[in-house]
Structure 1
Amino acid sequence: MPLSDPQEFADNAAKRRRRTTLWMVGANACVAGLLAILVWHFLASSYRTYQQQARNVAVGLAAVAQLNVESEFDRVDAVMNATASELERMMAEAGAVSDDKLNAVLHARFKLLKGIEAFRVADADGLVRWGTQLPAGPPVNVSDRDYFVEARTPFEPVTRVAGPLQSRVSGHSVLAFVRPLQQHGAFAGILYVSIDVGHFKRTFERYDLAPMDAVTLRRDDYRLVARHSPKSAVQGEPGDVSVSPQLKQALITNPRGGNVVSRTSIDGEERTTAYRALDAWPFVVLAGVNNTRFFAPWRDEAWNVAALAALAWLLVLAATAQLHRANRREAGVTQTLADQGKRIQALLRTAGDGIHITDGSGHLVEMSDSFTEMLGSSRERLLGRHIATWDCNQSEDAINAWLARIKPGDRQRVDVQHRRDDGQVIDVELQLSICDIAGKLFVFASARDVTNERRLVREQAAMLHSDLVGMTKIENRTICWRNRAAERILGYDEGELQGLPVRAVYWDDDD
């Protein structure tokens, strides 16, 4: 097959480079998109894992707080029921019960309950007459308290919890556990236990809470009882009913328990909060994990992953840029080679000798214009033809056998005869050089038409050996060559003139 046009090769290479550039741009965009998807998927999965871990921590804290608070409420209720039964039994006996006996019972029961503020009894008129830590002066009147009114009408022998409210004895914010007393079937007053809300806060302080986490006790009407949040500037006031809309909706939807992510209305911190309602009491405990702190490792991880992905993309981009620069350098080299190829082709077009190139199978792949003129043909008709189609002396098999023997670096000079397309046979002097290009064998040949020269040589030879004209060649006054006519004319036999001095033929040396 013919050698490629160097400019066509350069143009094709430029097209390939443009396609490669577009492919590289597309590949970089795909890599960037793929990395973004992978980073998003990884971070989303990691974030969900952190969310689940935050929920698990919050649920665990809420479960512990629920058990602690509920067990304490149940213990107070059990002691109050036992105490109420004993007091009602004492009041049912004949005769009045002394204040000392009643106070002794209340003081004894007070010691059974750790952390309570007071254990007292108010009579049917609401006057607090018996119990622990009674103030000096007239009895405190609680008849206007809602819990007192609820306890007397209708009568139900169950413990109710009131508050948080301010104690009229201690002035503290307390929860009041209230149970009505009866004597002979009639309302006889109330037995109540007051617990400072600070007691629950101190209970929560024993939990292993991280900074800005929070544990809260609220009534089911959202009133705040106690709250502990390490390092939070605002802890909230008892009775505060402000909660986030998300938490309020969650409590309405599932009042017994659940979890929610919201920004706490008390201090504005975003937390993952789990809540659990007490089974027998109108209270709910909430445990919140501070998201800013808890998700800090995830944010660091996100930055690291994003940075690694960006670095990977930058490396791909740098490699692409290097490849693009290499392509541009290759483009310059290719164009230089194309220009050089065009100069070589121009040289082939104008070369005087018939320069032509054949491949390892003997087929013509390139030629100069002078070679086409030498064979009286055209470039189109000659390209791809085998040497044997114009070589008069060698068959195709002989030429193929010769091609099988030669090797790169060989040089030869041969005299051959070529047949032109018009049938004329010409004498050619052929210079051959064997080369290996890209693993393929090529024969570079320079052909010179020597038909006229050889005809002149033959004519000169015929003249020199003519029988009509005598000729001699003299060197150093000695005959070194002669033809037969000279011997005949001078009367010598064949070979006798060879080597004779000239004086043997000429009488006068000066002539």
Structure 2
Amino acid sequence: MPHSLKSVALMLLITAVIMNLFMVTLLAVTLNSAYDRKIEEVRTTVTNLALLMDQSVTGAAREVDLVLRKVQSRLETALRVGESLETSPASELTGAGEGWIADAADIHITDATGLVQFEQQADEGRWVDYGDRDYFLTHRTNPDAGMLVSGLLRNHSGEWVHVFSRRYNDPDGRFAGVTVAAIPAQHFAGLISGLNLGPNGIALIRDLNKTLVARHPPLDAAPGRIGSVGGSQELTALLESGEQAGIFYSHGTADGVPRTDAFRRLSAMPVFVVAGLGEDDYLAIWRHDVNRAIVLGLLFLLVTAGGALLLWRQFKASDKAHRRSQMLLQHASDGIHILDEHGQLVDASEAFYQMLGYTPGELSGRHPCDWDAQHSPEEMTQLFNSLLSGGQISTFETRFRHKLGHAFAVEVSTVRVEIEGRPLLFSSARDITERKKADEDLRIAAQAFESQVGMLITDADLNILRCNQAFCRITGYSAKEVIGRQPNLLQSGRHDQRFYADMWQAINRSGAWQGEIWNKRKNGEIYPQLLSIGKVSNEHGQTTHYVASLSDISARKASEEQMRTLAFYDSLTKLPNRRLFLDRLEEARGTAKRRETYSALLVVDLNDFKILNDAEGYTAGDRMLEQVATRLISCVPHTESVARLGGDEFVVLLEDLGKHEIDAAHQAEQMGNRILQELARPYVLGETEYRGSASIGIALFGASYSILSMEPLKRAELAMSQAKSTGNSPLCFFDPQMQAQVRERSEIDAGLRMALEKQQFLLHYQPQVDDTGQIIGAEALVRWKHPEQGLISPARFIPVAEDNGLILPLGHWVLETACQQLALWADNPARAHLTIAVNISAKQLSQAHFVDQVMEVLQRTGAPAQRLKLELTESALVHEIESIIDKMNSLKMHGVGFSLDDFGTGYSSLAYLKRLPLDQLKIDQSFVRDISFDANSADIAQTIILLAERMKISVLAEGVETQLQQSALRERGCHHYQGYLFGRPMPIEEFEGELLRR
């Protein structure tokens, strides 16, 4: 096989191999990237699951602590008023369990010696002695121990439990005993049973001795039983390292399933939680993709191999045809043709026929007039006779006509020869179309040299040989001033020697260089220039010339700078905008992480800025924003540390605050206070002076914070929102619990809408009684019966409903349901005297048609208006007081009563209070709770009762839980009560059963 075909075969083989290697590499990189993303996603998921388990178990522990606190409080109250444990009702002491705790916990109370006095479940525990228990000894010796939680223990019944305990004291502060709540391990199993872990996932709770507390899903084997001790080697190593949280991969698990796991130590209990996802679950799709990639790679290999084989066959065929042509053309590349003495074609090479588009032999016997397109027949005859009669080689240019009709330039060389005495004209024609084009290109190049782009030509030693007019116009030098000199006369001095060394290295290596450079004009002006330099070499590879083209890009640079300003800077304040700030934040986060230092973000939001815009106009608002930007810049060490995120929200970046978190937080707080002081100074807005304020949220990042790039800004914005919403302080640090609260709030917000659609709300009724204990009415309290979470407290969903506006349909439903119940009672003489109090929100009360809505509900349900009592809070009376008074008077005329709830905790004006058509004041439970031992609470309650007497309206105390509280209220003139002493909020069936018992 010829050498050229071997080269082609080798090239095809190498190309096919490279393409397949590239495909394999591409698939491998793609699969590896997909694998890394999947692993990162799984790590995030298990971390969130572990955090969810932490919050669930910690929440249960806090509820137990709350119950123990209540029991402790009741015991200490009983001891303070002189009651002994033997005379106090056991049910009152041990019945403090609420919700699931009442069913799950076993609550005991011991005396100071450790002997159990009371227990919740049975009497046999009365004589159990806890005096030797570790937690009892700790409580006895340490008054500040608070709540103690044991590891997993077996109780006297053989059940695995966690023991929660608190100390209670005598009135003089001496140790009186402990309250104990034993929570079975099975309860914690229920907390994690609802987690979505996939087919091979796992959730574990173990105490710090690695004793299993709970496992989901259950494992029917010894390692999966409660009380078993175990754990993978990876988990053991993490625990021994002291880490509070971490992620690990375990392959030696009890059930033999490899998993990616996350663990967290709990602060509220001596346990840790583990959440894991099975490797077979989260890698199933990735492994399927691997199989598909293998199939794709094999198909690609077959296609490339087949394509290479086809190309190889074509190359072989082409090579054979080429060798045959070479032999037939007698190694001639020009169009050789021979004419006889009559001018007829005798013979011609294949190149000649190809040049004219004819097949070999097709022009035999034809005259040159048949293919010459430039000469007429007479001219051609005259030219032929002249050439035939001459004896020298003649060369001339003409144009040949192709068979298809188009003409092209040729150069013909002729010589007269004689063969066997016969004169012949031997001619060789060469297509000079490309040469003509090259000549034309040279003319165009000469013209282009004098174009708008500056051109410069030097020799190999960089001596300037020629330049065009554009070069002279751009640089200010004339041609005489630069010819013979070197281009370094244009250097601006802005670039160092390394820059020029790299430039010439690129020219010598690749033959050209292009880039932006700063040069200097003759007048000394420095300007930006786009420069291209090319090397010209001879046939031996030696450099002969350098050609440079240059353009003045000052205008483009100015335009780019303007575009950059518009893209990255705020047009009003000239501060960096959000887009540029996020880039700088990412750099700052990387720097802080490398240096292991802390940095801080301060998000500054102006208070009541919309009110300023509405009152004074947007021009005044813009002036204030400009002044705010100036003041912020004056507070920080670097101008670029301040940015405007949008609207009236600014952000300040503080970098390198040290390696200690407390010091960094202190510096950030000082800066925040300084900013608040600056922003509190008066603003001059045209002819008016305005005083404003701001709220600041602070979030630290760097050092030990492993968070995403956007997370510091999100945290600072959350902290700012917290500062605005609470109103306690204009400056607030980020609290990790804020994110959980926001997430819970979002879930409740979405769930409320569905709950209204699916009618998941119900009313509970809490009795209101008089001095004799007779029920005179009830307060209607809404409850949310969630299909998964059970009953949800109003404290969790009412604030959300207030914010998203759902309080209006929810409040309307509560009012209508309560009125339906009043209508049913009206038909029963024994219950017709009962009233129902319905809470009305500020948003309901502010509705223009509120009175019409209430009257429409009363008429449609048939409820007696005299038995409906609308409860208002003092906060609902802050705005639109005149309108509210009119609405209350309108409803009062139809018999509807009004009660002012939580009286004494708000900011009601007595001037407005005397104008309100109230029927009742409710003493807030915060005063009732401490009335029996706190003089201030007792005096406030007495004042409220006297005020109600002077206003000739009734008074009701809420939150009454003990006989002592009721007695203290009765002595001061209060005769209506509501609280746990008389009954908790209950469904209507239980409430009506309570009516029958009384």
- Between the aligned partners of 2:398 and 2:391, the Cα distance in structure 1 is 11
Secondary structure of 2:225's aligned partner: coil
- Between the aligned partners of 2:239 and 2:328, the Cα distance in structure 1 is 86
| 1:172 corresponding residue in structure 2 | 159
- Between the aligned partners of 1:89 and 1:407, the Cα distance in structure 2 is 121
- Between the aligned partners of 1:69 and 1:60, the Cα distance in structure 2 is 14
Secondary structure of 2:234's aligned partner: helix
The answer to whether structure 1 residue 90 and structure 2 residue 84 are counterparts is no
Cα deviation for residue 305 of structure 1 reads 2.5
The answer to whether structure 1 residue 427 and structure 2 residue 427 are counterparts is no
| 2:63 corresponding residue in structure 1 | 75
Cα-Cα RMSD: 4.4
* Unmatched 5+ stretches in structure 1: 1-10, 344-354, 362-387, 409-416, 421-425, 435-511
The answer to whether structure 1 residue 296 and structure 2 residue 284 are counterparts is yes
Cα deviation for residue 173 of structure 1 reads 0.9
- Between the aligned partners of 1:266 and 1:188, the Cα distance in structure 2 is 46
The alignment-based identity, stated in percent, is 23
Residues 211 and 231 of structure 1 are in contact (CA less than 8 Å); yes or no, is this contact kept in structure 2?
Answer: no
| 1:311 corresponding residue in structure 2 | 299
- Between the aligned partners of 1:176 and 1:212, the Cα distance in structure 2 is 32
Match runs of 1:54-453 below 5 Å: 54-91=42-79, 93-94=81-82, 96-98=84-86, 101-109=89-97, 113-134=101-122, 136=124, 139-169=127-157, 171-183=158-170, 185-229=173-217, 236-253=224-241, 255-263=243-251, 265-328=253-316, 337=324, 360=352, 395=391, 426-428=420-422
- Between the aligned partners of 2:402 and 2:15, the Cα distance in structure 1 is 48
Cα deviation for residue 395 of structure 1 reads 4.8
Amino acid at match of 2:52: V
Q: Which has the larger radius of gyration?
A: 1
Amino acid at match of 1:269: V
| 2:27 corresponding residue in structure 1 | 39
- Between the aligned partners of 2:290 and 2:303, the Cα distance in structure 1 is 20
- Between the aligned partners of 1:401 and 1:112, the Cα distance in structure 2 is 110
Cα deviation for residue 136 of structure 1 reads 4.2
| 1:199-247 Cα deviation digits (max 9, x unpaired) | 1111211223322212222334433321213788777233444333333
Cα deviation for residue 406 of structure 1 reads 12
TM-score in terms of structure 2 length: 0.33
Amino acid at match of 1:172: E
| 1:266-312 Cα deviation digits (max 9, x unpaired) | 33322222233334433332221222101111111222233223322
Amino acid at match of 1:218: R
- Between the aligned partners of 1:35 and 1:232, the Cα distance in structure 2 is 48
- Between the aligned partners of 2:23 and 2:398, the Cα distance in structure 1 is 61
Residues 229 and 235 of structure 1 are in contact (CA less than 8 Å); yes or no, is this contact kept in structure 2?
Answer: no
Cα deviation for residue 121 of structure 1 reads 1.6
- Between the aligned partners of 2:317 and 2:198, the Cα distance in structure 1 is 61
Higher mean C-alpha deviation, range 203-212 or range 395-404 = 395-404
- Between the aligned partners of 1:305 and 1:160, the Cα distance in structure 2 is 57
Cα 1:134/1:54, change in 2 over 3 Å: same
Q: Which has the higher contact order (CA 8 A, sep 6+)?
A: 1
| 2:10 corresponding residue in structure 1 | 22
TM-score in terms of structure 1 length: 0.61
Cα 1:50/1:232, change in 2 over 3 Å: farther
Cα deviation for residue 35 of structure 1 reads 1.5
Amino acid at match of 2:294: A
* Unmatched 5+ stretches in structure 2: 331-345, 354-383, 405-415, 429-998
Amino acid at match of 1:206: G
Secondary structure of 2:254's aligned partner: coil
- Between the aligned partners of 1:314 and 1:253, the Cα distance in structure 2 is 54
Residues 201 and 277 of structure 2 are in contact (CA less than 8 Å); yes or no, is this contact kept in structure 1?
Answer: yes
Aligned residues: 375
| 1:300-352 Cα deviation digits (max 9, x unpaired) | 122223322332232112211232344456667778x4999799xxxxxxxxx
Cα deviation for residue 92 of structure 1 reads 5.0
Amino acid at match of 2:106: A
Cα 1:428/1:119, change in 2 over 3 Å: same
| 2:36 corresponding residue in structure 1 | 48
Cα deviation for residue 59 of structure 1 reads 2.2
Residues 164 and 238 of structure 1 are in contact (CA less than 8 Å); yes or no, is this contact kept in structure 2?
Answer: no
Amino acid at match of 2:110: A
Residues 207 and 271 of structure 2 are in contact (CA less than 8 Å); yes or no, is this contact kept in structure 1?
Answer: yes
Cα 1:176/1:338, change in 2 over 3 Å: same
| 1:414-440 Cα deviation digits (max 9, x unpaired) | xxx9558xxxxx5249899x9xxxxxx
| 2:435 corresponding residue in structure 1 | none
Amino acid at match of 1:87: L
Secondary structure of 2:104's aligned partner: coil
Cα deviation for residue 174 of structure 1 reads 0.8
Cα 1:299/1:104, change in 2 over 3 Å: same
| 1:93-129 Cα deviation digits (max 9, x unpaired) | 5464326613432024366725523111233444433
- Between the aligned partners of 2:400 and 2:99, the Cα distance in structure 1 is 118
- Between the aligned partners of 2:268 and 2:137, the Cα distance in structure 1 is 22
- Between the aligned partners of 2:197 and 2:218, the Cα distance in structure 1 is 7
- Between the aligned partners of 2:226 and 2:143, the Cα distance in structure 1 is 29
- Between the aligned partners of 1:254 and 1:236, the Cα distance in structure 2 is 25
Cα 1:271/1:114, change in 2 over 3 Å: farther
- Between the aligned partners of 2:19 and 2:197, the Cα distance in structure 1 is 44
Cα deviation for residue 404 of structure 1 reads 6.5
- Between the aligned partners of 2:300 and 2:109, the Cα distance in structure 1 is 76
| 1:454-480 Cα deviation digits (max 9, x unpaired) | xxxxxxxxxxxxxxxxxxxxxxxxxxx
| 1:129-161 Cα deviation digits (max 9, x unpaired) | 311112648733444443334433445441111
| 1:444 corresponding residue in structure 2 | none
Cα 1:114/1:325, change in 2 over 3 Å: farther
Cα 1:42/1:406, change in 2 over 3 Å: closer
Amino acid at match of 1:168: H
Amino acid at match of 1:427: G
Residues 224 and 238 of structure 1 are in contact (CA less than 8 Å); yes or no, is this contact kept in structure 2?
Answer: yes
Residues 214 and 289 of structure 1 are in contact (CA less than 8 Å); yes or no, is this contact kept in structure 2?
Answer: yes
- Between the aligned partners of 1:137 and 1:53, the Cα distance in structure 2 is 51
Cα 1:180/1:339, change in 2 over 3 Å: same
- Between the aligned partners of 2:7 and 2:220, the Cα distance in structure 1 is 62
| 2:603 corresponding residue in structure 1 | none
